[in-house]
Amino acid sequence: MNKDIHLVFHNRGLRSYIEVDLCAECPRQDNKGCCGHYSPMFYPGDFVYLFQQRPELIDKILGLDNVTILDSSVTVNKTIDGDSYHCHFHRTEGGCLLEQDERESICRHFVCPGIDWESEPALVHWKIFFNKLFEYEIEINNSIAEIMRQKQLSLRDAAGRQEFFAQLAQAFEEVAANPPDFMQKVPPDESAVINRSISYGKDWPL
């Protein structure tokens, strides 16, 4: 069976994301789709945004039981659920509990290979954008992590976290002061419709 899939690409700089209508009725038919296989990892760029916009969410993330806290990143570990896993933020009704801008990079950018929008020639500008954005985020996160390491500040130090986040925001201002040109090469929003053959259950590629 073929189906029209509606995508909306949003250029929000470091908080850019892709919306896909098929996710609401994911062909995996397990109420989790790709979210049943992933553990979100929050990096410095995410924490700076959350610190400035949703500080209460940082407290929630750091207060969870099943997290791995490293010097400048936190993984919210998935838990075993049947024959796959379960992301802490996923709910059967409504999907992800987080708003798009609150999610980490993979959760904002990932679209499953079954949809494969990257192979559409008309969307090549978005493919270039998200590839460059992914590299830019890594570069920024690595630079901020290095600055924090030199200042001997770590997320592992629970008592020093207020200072950590204040310094993190300052480090972000230093390394991300001049957004690269590629961020201006796509519009703020663009919709697209692509047609794909749909398979169901585990036949649908993740």
State the residues that interact with ligand SF4 by CB under 6 A.
Answer: 20, 22-23, 26, 28, 33-35, 38, 40, 87, 89-90, 96, 98, 103, 107, 111-112, 114-115, 206
Query: From CA 105, how far away is CA 103, in angstroms rounded?
Result: 7
- Name which of 30 and 71 has its Cβ closer to ligand SF4: 30
CB of 8 to ligand SF4, least distance (A): 13
CB of 80 to ligand SF4, least distance (A): 15
CB of 69 to ligand SF4, least distance (A): 17
CB of 46 to ligand SF4, least distance (A): 11
Query: From CA 50, how far away is CA 63, in angstroms rounded?
Result: 15
Q: Give residue for tokens 């919210």.
A: 76
- Name which of 15 and 90 has its Cβ closer to ligand SF4: 90
- Name which of 23 and 155 has its Cβ closer to ligand SF4: 23
- Name which of 26 and 148 has its Cβ closer to ligand SF4: 26
Neighbours of 127 (CB within 10 A): 14
Structure tokens at 134: 């992914």
- Name which of 4 and 174 has its Cβ closer to ligand SF4: 4
**127 φ, ψ to 5°?**
-60, -45
Sign for the pseudo-dihedral over CA of 182, 183, 189, 191: positive
End-to-end, the C-alpha distance of the chain in Å comes to 18
CB of 104 to ligand SF4, least distance (A): 7
Among 57, 73, 66, 63, which Cα is nearest to 141's? 73
